[in-house]
Amino acid sequence: MLNVVSATDVCIFYPATKAGQALSEGQILLDQLLLPVKDAKGQDVTPADRKQQVSLVDDTVGTVQQRKVRCDDLAEVRRLKLQQLLQLRTCERDIDQVNTCSVI
C-alpha cells in the first residue's frame, strides 16, 4: 500500500513543480523587461509603454504565485486524506486478522 501513496504524492506535487518553473520564467521575463533597450549606437530606445507591459507581467506572476500557494495547500490536504485512508485500511485489515485468529 505504501507504493500507492508514493505514486500519488508524485501525481499531486507535479503541478506544483510546473508552477514553480512558470514563476521563475516569469521572474526572468520581468527582469529582462526592466533592462533598458539600446540601439547599435548605445542610445536608449526603451518603449514608452514599458510600464504597462511590466505591470501586466508582474500581475500575472503574482496571480500564478497565489494559485501555486492554493494548489500546494490543496495538495497537502489531499495527501493527508490519502494517508488517513491508508491508515484506516491498515486498521481494518488488522481487525480482520484478529477476527480470523479469534475464530480459530
Q: Is residue 72, in this structure, part of any structural domain at all? A: yes
Domain count, the chain: 1
Residue 37: predicted pLDDT: 82
User: Shortest CA distance to 1 belongs to which of 101, 102, 103, 92?
Assistant: 92
Domain residues for the domain of 15 are 2-92
Q: For 20-50, how does the pLDDT look when each residue is reduced to its tens digit (9 = 90+)?
A: 888 888 889 888 888 888 888 888 787 877 8
Residue 1: predicted pLDDT: 40
Q: Is residue 99, in this structure, part of any structural domain at all? A: no
Does this model's pTM top 0.75? no
What residues of the chain score a pLDDT lower than 70?
Answer: 1-16, 103-104
Q: Is residue 103, in this structure, part of any structural domain at all? A: no
Q: Is residue 102, in this structure, part of any structural domain at all? A: no
- Please tell me the distance from the alpha carbon of residue 47 to that of residue 39, in angstroms, as a whole number: 12
Contacts of 29 (CB under 8 A, 6+ apart): 57
Specify whether the CB–CB gap between 42 and 32 falls below 8 A. Answer: no
Q: Is residue 100, in this structure, part of any structural domain at all? A: no
Q: Is residue 98, in this structure, part of any structural domain at all? A: no
Percent of the chain residues past pLDDT 90, beyond the cut: 30
**Residue whose C-alpha cell reads 501555486 in the numeric block:** 68
Q: Is residue 10, in this structure, part of any structural domain at all? A: yes
